[in-house]
Chains A and B, each alone.
Chain A
Amino acid sequence: DAMVIQNPRYQVTQFGKPVTLSCSQTLNHNVMYWYQQKSSQAPKLLFHYYDKDFNNEADTPDNFQSRRPNTSFCFLDIRSPGLGDAAMYLCATSRLPGGQETQYFGPGTRLLVL
């Protein structure tokens, strides 16, 4: 009954080597989000898609990009990972944007940068 799926669960990359994380959803939700979470901290929103409209957070570094080729899939691209980008990356979805819409999270991908 997986609803928000993230692959892989663990990803190892080298400093400066581009990496892509994947998210898919079976909920047919219109909105997909990417969060970064570091140890013992709350998730931090990077950006989200409402259908095909991309909404970037003001403090998200240019190093982070996203693609949403269709309703079900969304990708997070890190163009040149630095050591500080090692974190858990969480994908979430909601039916609609706006208040009073629950966000449902995937299991996350743990990124390690060597």
Chain B
Amino acid sequence: GESVGLHLPTLSVQEGDNSIINCAYSNSASDYFIWYKQESGKGPQFIIDIRSNMDKRQGQRVTVLLNKTVKHLSLQIAATQPGDSAVYFCAETGGATNKLIFGTGTLLAVQP
């Protein structure tokens, strides 16, 4: 069978609260960043992206913040709902390869 997986960092929030998921990225040359949401048994789903010439981008209920100085990315989810429960991965890419480098993932658990 599968090898034993790692324990994911977990963020537990109450329904209706705001959630902030953080990610430290590794490559200072990365110029494009994506947040993916992965529900149990499903593939990663694109949520929002940001390019390195921006420091903030907003979507519907989600905001991504980029701090290139400290190589930090965050995803803010407003008014968190039970349907937001999932593993969230940040990913970085840059240069010619388009190779996505994923972060370790954070499990968001929304308590009703």
Closest A residue to B101 using CB positions: A42
Chain A binding surface SS class: loop
- Chain B residues within 8 Å of A99, by CB: 31-32, 93-98
Check if B31 sits within 8 Å of A100, measured CB to CB. yes
Check if A39 sits within 8 Å of B43, measured CB to CB. no
Check if A40 sits within 8 Å of B98, measured CB to CB. no
Determine if B45 is an interface residue (Cβ-Cβ < 8 Å): yes
Closest B residue to A43 using CB positions: B102
From B4-12, B62-70, B78-86, the one touching the partner chain is B4-12
Asked, given contacts A42-B102, A43-B44, A106-B43, whether A97 binds B5 with beta carbons under 8 Å apart, the answer is no
Of B41, B51, B95, most A-chain CB atoms within 10 Å = B41
B interface residues, how many (CB within 8 angstroms): 33
A39, A40, A84, A100: which contacts B93 (Cβ < 8 A)? A100
Check if B1 sits within 8 Å of A42, measured CB to CB. no
Nearest CB on B from A36, distance (A): 11
A interface residues, how many (CB within 8 angstroms): 33
Determine if B36 is an interface residue (Cβ-Cβ < 8 Å): yes
Determine if B74 is an interface residue (Cβ-Cβ < 8 Å): no
Check if A90 sits within 8 Å of B43, measured CB to CB. yes
Bound Cα distance A106, B42 (Å): 8
Asked, given contacts A86-B2, A90-B43, A99-B32, whether A40 binds B96 with beta carbons under 8 Å apart, the answer is no
Bound Cα distance A109, B31 (Å): 31
Determine if B89 is an interface residue (Cβ-Cβ < 8 Å): yes
B7, B43, B46, B104: which contacts A102 (Cβ < 8 A)? B46
Determine if B61 is an interface residue (Cβ-Cβ < 8 Å): no
Query: Could you mark each residue 8-42 of chain B with 1 if its beta carbon is under 8 Å from any beta carbon of chain A, else 0?
Result: 10000000000000000000000110101000011
- Which residues on A are within 8 Å of B, measured CB to CB? 4, 6, 31, 38-43, 45, 83-84, 86-87, 90, 92, 94, 96-108, 110, 112-113
Question: Which 4 pairs show the lowest CB-CB distances between chains A and B?
Answer: A39-B5, A40-B5, A42-B102, A105-B43
